[in-house]
């Protein structure tokens, strides 16, 4: 059976029931199946002026034990398919979760399933435009070609942005080949050759200068490569990599002609592209020199550890931990309170360099980052070696304020960009020091958030025979509502702020206040330096009592987008992100 019918065969085999409705002008045909077998002959059921097929099925729960359709996954896939198939319109309706809303026109509540519709006139050009939304574009016009070569249809769209990494999406028959394959290999080789030829021809590269590398020409590149071919050869069952040799030839042939012609027809865009890739080449050579200076394996092996590093005594990496501590004062308390056998402390002075905006040569010249790299022992970039990691856990330990959050974000950016393997292998953690210390009658309690604090205080109130905060709050509001039912009253503002509009509102702040308990003191920690060594051990360092959050980048593409917005050079996307999420921010320390 032809390849296009295989998905229907698979759906039928995995379903307890399936119905196929085929529209073929001027008739509509229907056939139903049960456990993979037809329940009757094909029937003609009506007339149509459309062409297409509707498949309805119920998955077999004996095969899919915990099957549940995830709407986000379905929408992301179908959106991608709409980009890859120019002009197709896809509509999705989730009938499981209808939305209720109040209709002003009908003056009643209505339940409705709202459709999601995807239609992109530009196809993969629209896809590249979507991927680059909010980025700083290096050139205006997006390159596109769609052309057949010996039975293989090749589509390529690309644009450069002000970025250090590349985004290369490759597809074969609309299947996302996440591991690439012959089509992406053909694209890369032709791109490198074309840009080198153009650079030589137009004087961007001098005779004695080295050619641009593949790494240079892909810096800041966003590209979608899509091929459609008969009988594609994939490597492995997951279809993650295309193995068809002819796909490479087809992509190279189409690129060699069409991209070369695009550069000639768009000289301003061509200059912007060449300026970008030549700058990348110069930065690569500078970074290589810096790496050779700082990270030569021989030099690194013999390099002494940073003087401010308080190392642990064990040489067993599986039981050792490195704490990256904000500031010298907190570093001093941490060094005194730690378990010296297994815990190392590296104090960091101030805010480290924002590596999202800096090239690797500048990053390696930064004293705090160099100290961290040497302490980790893995080296970096091409010389990264996970087997040389000196600590099983790397713990970021910063204050619970705005500066601490900023330092934590800068460190997360550094690890995400240059040590992703440490995140993938589960070596990176964030310490969760307590926010409050509560004392009564010589006893100490630590609360890591507001709810824990209230739970501890409610317990102390109960022991002391005092009404809980929630009960007091309800009683205060109840009394306010009773007195607000009538009569004349007036609220005057003495500080220039807007007065309350009701007695109930006026009593809200009183109701929100703490119900005092005799002999209880509450301390709000804003810095790790406020804790003495024993408190720091008990709350943050003791493996039996501490709270650590493991850093896990489950969706690299989403994380990459967020880091671009928050730590990149573009102001408008960051401002929009802050405005969108401002209402969800809680406990902001300023």
Q: Do 347 and 331 form a contact (C-beta atoms < 8 A)?
A: yes
Q: Do 380 and 297 form a contact (C-beta atoms < 8 A)?
A: no
Angle (CA) 528-534-536 rounded to 5° is 25
Structure-block tokens of residue 183: 């089509």
What is the Cα–Cα distance from 312 to 304, expressed in whole angstroms?
Answer: 15
Structure-block tokens of residue 210: 């080295």
Structure-block tokens of residue 39: 């329940």
How many whole angstroms from its chain centre is CA 318? 29
- Beta strands per DSSP E along 254-348: 321-326, 343-348
Q: Do 406 and 351 form a contact (C-beta atoms < 8 A)?
A: yes
Whose CA is closest to 193, among 169, 174, 212? 212
Q: Which residues on neighbouring strands pair with residue 109, listed in sequence order?
A: 102
Exposure class string for 399-408: b at 16+ Cβ within 10 A, else e: bbeebbeebb
What is the Cα–Cα distance from 172 to 225, expressed in whole angstroms?
Answer: 9
| Angle in degrees, 0-180, between the axes of helices 124-131 and 71-84, rounded to the nearest 10 | 130
Whose CA is closest to 222, among 177, 180, 173, 170? 170
What is the Cα–Cα distance from 120 to 129, expressed in whole angstroms?
Answer: 11
State the DSSP code for 400.
Answer: S
Catalytic positions: 326, 399, 401, 403
Structure-block tokens of residue 545: 């009592």
3-class DSSP state for residue 33?
strand
What is the Cα–Cα distance from 152 to 552, expressed in whole angstroms?
Answer: 40
**Other CB atoms within 10 A of residue 121 CB:** 8
Q: How far apart are the first and last CA of the chain?
A: 67
Q: Do 50 and 89 form a contact (C-beta atoms < 8 A)?
A: no
For 110-230, where are the alpha helices, taking DSSP H only?
Answer: 124-131, 182-201, 214-217
How many whole angstroms from its chain centre is CA 322? 25
For residue 428, whether the previous peptide bond is cis, meaning omega lies within 30 degrees of 0, is no
Q: Are strands 436-440 and 520-524 parallel, antiparallel or unpaired?
A: antiparallel
Whose CA is closest to 33, among 12, 2, 6? 12
Q: Which residues on neighbouring strands pair with residue 323, listed in sequence order?
A: 345, 395
Exposure class string for 136-146: b at 16+ Cβ within 10 A, else e: ebbbeebbbbb
Element (H, E) at 477: helix 469-483
């Amino acid at each position: 059976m032809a390849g296009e019918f295989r998905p229907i065969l698979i759906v039928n085999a995995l379903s307890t029931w399936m119905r196929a409705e085929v529209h073929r002008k001027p008739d509509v045909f229907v056939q139903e199946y049960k456990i993979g077998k037809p329940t009757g002959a094909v029937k003609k059921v009506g007339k149509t002026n459309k062409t297409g097929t509707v498949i309805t099925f119920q998955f077999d729960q004996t095969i899919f034990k915990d099957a549940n359709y995830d709407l986000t996954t379905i929408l992301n896939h179908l959106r991608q398919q709409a980009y890859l198939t120019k002009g197709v319109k896809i509509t999705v309706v989730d009938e499981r979760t209808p939305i209720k809303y109040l209709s002003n026109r009908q003056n009643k509540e209505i339940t409705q399933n709202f459709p999601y519709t995807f239609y992109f006139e530009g196809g993969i050009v629209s896809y590249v435009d979507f991927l680059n939304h909010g980025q700083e574009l290096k050139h205006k016009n997006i390159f596109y070609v769609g052309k057949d070569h010996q039975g293989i249809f090749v589509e390529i769209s690309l644009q450069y942005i002000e970025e250090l990494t590349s985004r290369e999406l490759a597809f074969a028959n609309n299947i996302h080949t996440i591991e690439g394959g012959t089509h992406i290999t053909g694209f890369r080789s032709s791109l490198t050759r074309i840009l080198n030829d153009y650079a030589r021809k137009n004087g961007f590269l001098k005779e004695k200068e080295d050619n641009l590398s593949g790494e240079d020409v892909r810096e800041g590149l966003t590209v979608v490569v899509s091929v459609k071919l008969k009988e594609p050869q994939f490597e492995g069952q997951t279809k993650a990599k295309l193995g068809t040799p002819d796909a490479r030839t087809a992509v190279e042939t189409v690129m060699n002609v069409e991209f070369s012609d695009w550069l000639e027809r768009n000289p301003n865009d061509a200059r912007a592209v060449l300026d970008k890739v030549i700058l990348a080449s110069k930065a690569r050579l500078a970074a290589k020199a810096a790496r050779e200076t700082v990270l030569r394996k021989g030099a690194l092996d013999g390099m002494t550890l940073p003087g401010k590093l308080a190392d642990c005594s064990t040489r067993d990496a599986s039981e050792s931990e490195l704490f990256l501590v904000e500031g010298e004062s907190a570093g001093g308390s941490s060094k005194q309170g730690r378990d010296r056998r297994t815990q190392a402390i590296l104090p960091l002075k101030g805010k480290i360099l924002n590596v999202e905006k800096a090239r690797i040569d500048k990053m390696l010249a930064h004293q705090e980052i160099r100290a961290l790299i040497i302490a980790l022992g893995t080296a970096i970039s091409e010389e990264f070696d996970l087997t040389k990691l000196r600590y099983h856990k790397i713990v970021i330990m910063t204050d619970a304020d705005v500066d601490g959050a900023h330092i934590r974000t800068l460190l997360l950016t550094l690890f995400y960009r240059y040590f992703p393997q440490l995140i993938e292998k589960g070596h990176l953690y964030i310490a969760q020091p307590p926010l409050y210390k509560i004392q009564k009658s010589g006893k100490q309690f630590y609360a890591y958030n507001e709810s824990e604090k209230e739970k501890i205080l409610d317990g102390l109130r109960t022991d002391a025979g005092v009404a809980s905060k929630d009960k007091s709050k309800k009683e205060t509001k109840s009394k306010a509502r009773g007195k607000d039912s009538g009569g004349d009253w007036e609220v005057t503002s003495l500080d220039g702020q807007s007065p309350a509009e009701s007695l109930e509102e006026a009593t809200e702040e009183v109701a929100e206040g703490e119900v005092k308990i005799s002999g209880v003191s509450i301390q709000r920690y804003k810095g790790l330096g406020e804790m003495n060594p024993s408190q720091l051990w008990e709350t943050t360092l003791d493996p039996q009592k501490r709270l650590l959050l493991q850093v896990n980048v489950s969706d690299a593409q989403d994380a990459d987008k967020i880091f671009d917005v928050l730590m990149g050079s573009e102001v408008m996307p960051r401002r929009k992100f802050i405005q969108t999420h401002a209402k969800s921010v809680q406990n902001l320390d300023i």
